Amino acid sequence: MNIGIAGTGKMGTAVAGRLIGLGHTVRVWNRTLGNTKSAKDMGAIVVDSPHSLMTSSETVICLLTDEAALDSVYVGKDGLLSSDLNQKLIIEMSTVSPQKQKEISSLVIAKNGRYIECPVGGSVGPAKEGKLLGFVGGKDADVSVARPLLEQICRRVEHVGTYGAGAMMKLGINLPLMVYWQTLAEALSLVAPLGLDPKRVIDIFSDSSAGPNLLKNRGPVIAQTLIDGSASNVNVPIETVRKDIRSMLEYAKSLNVSLPVTETALIHFDKSSGMGLDKKDSAEHIVRWLSPKK
């Protein structure tokens, strides 16, 4: 199958590698050309515009940074929607607001295309292994077309409603995870006076009721970050946490729902950002919290 991927950040590159390994022909495009190198080294074909990606692919998967990136990639010069789509399918995997998913779906349909949203749960490791969790919004017929491909990327594909529904589910799923970084930082501050080895502390937490999948999957990395004072690799940058939390709060406001714990978490992540940590891994937020000056 000829598959296009718009956005070769860590997740986009991991998905590209997964699909190439399954025998698909994968074309990639990214706003920063240099970020396509890893995908190219795995066998992907690099194209020069979203328009070229759309015209040369049967299905295009988008994994983009934010809503501004979607606007540029879809409707910008040489964008995905710069010509008739001829019933080709776009799978939007970016984490954006439900309203943006509804907006983009209307634009795609107006250009004679098929569209589903499928924001995913999971990080780079599960993406490489086809073990993501997909939250799908869209028409039944389009989901049926997309499902065989999605099942090669996701261990579980949940069609939760129409356009915007996948984004709603992703924001809900992500909320406890985003807030947990702050919760863990506060919990560790209570046991810091014990002076225990961070690896031991994280292992105890991960083996208790306080240990969600985040600790089971990333516990050793978090512990090493606490020891070193910085993360050797960036898995989930603080700027991504802040973006997702802002989306959660904006959506909650549209529902007239209060999220006081989430609001407080954002305040503290903003403080980490103000200290120059925006591009750093979320584990460094914990390091900052445990430092003498919070």
Same domain flag for 157 and 189: no
Residues 96 and 214 in one domain: no
| Full DSSP string of the chain | -EEEEE--SHHHHHHHHHHHHTT-EEEEE-SSGGGGHHHHHTTPEE-SSHHHHHHT-SEEEE--SSHHHHHHHHHSTT-TTSS--TT-EEEE-S---HHHHHHHHHHHHHTT-EEEE--EE--HHHHHHT-EEEEEEE-HHHHHHHHHHHHHHEEEEEEEESTTHHHHHHHHHHHHHHHHHHHHHHHHHHHGGG---HHHHHHHHHTSTT--HHHHHHHHHHHHHHHHSS-SS-SSBHHHHHHHHHHHHHHHHHTT---HHHHHHHHHHHHHIIIIITTSBTHHHHHHHHSS--
The whole-chain average pLDDT of the chain stands at 95
Last residue of a domain, one of 131, 162, 193: 162
- Same domain (yes/no): 120, 218: no
Question: What are the pLDDT digits (tens) for 142-165?
Answer: 999 999 999 999 999 999 999 999
pLDDT surpassing 70 at residue 71? yes
Give the CATH number, domain containing residue 45: 3.40.50.720
Range of the domain at 114: 2-162
Say how many domains are in the chain.
Answer: 2
151 and 258 in a single domain? The answer is no
Pair (83, 36) in one structural domain: yes
Is the predicted pLDDT of residue 294 greater than 60, yes or no?
no
Residue 212 pLDDT more than 90?
Answer: no
Indicate if 144 and 205 belong to the same structural domain.
no
CATH number of the structural domain spanning residue 282? 1.10.1040.10
Q: Answer yes or no: do 133 and 193 share one domain.
A: no
Domain stops at, among 118, 147, 162: 162
Banded pLDDT at 93 (limits 50, 70, 90): very high
Counting residues of the chain whose pLDDT is more than 70, the rounded percentage is: 99
Whether residue 132 is predicted with pLDDT greater than 60 in this model: the reply is: yes
- Whether 119 and 178 map to the same domain: the answer is no
**Domain final residue pick, 147, 162, 177:** 162
pTM metric for this prediction: 0.88
Looking at the structure, do residues 49 and 12 belong to the same domain, yes or no? yes
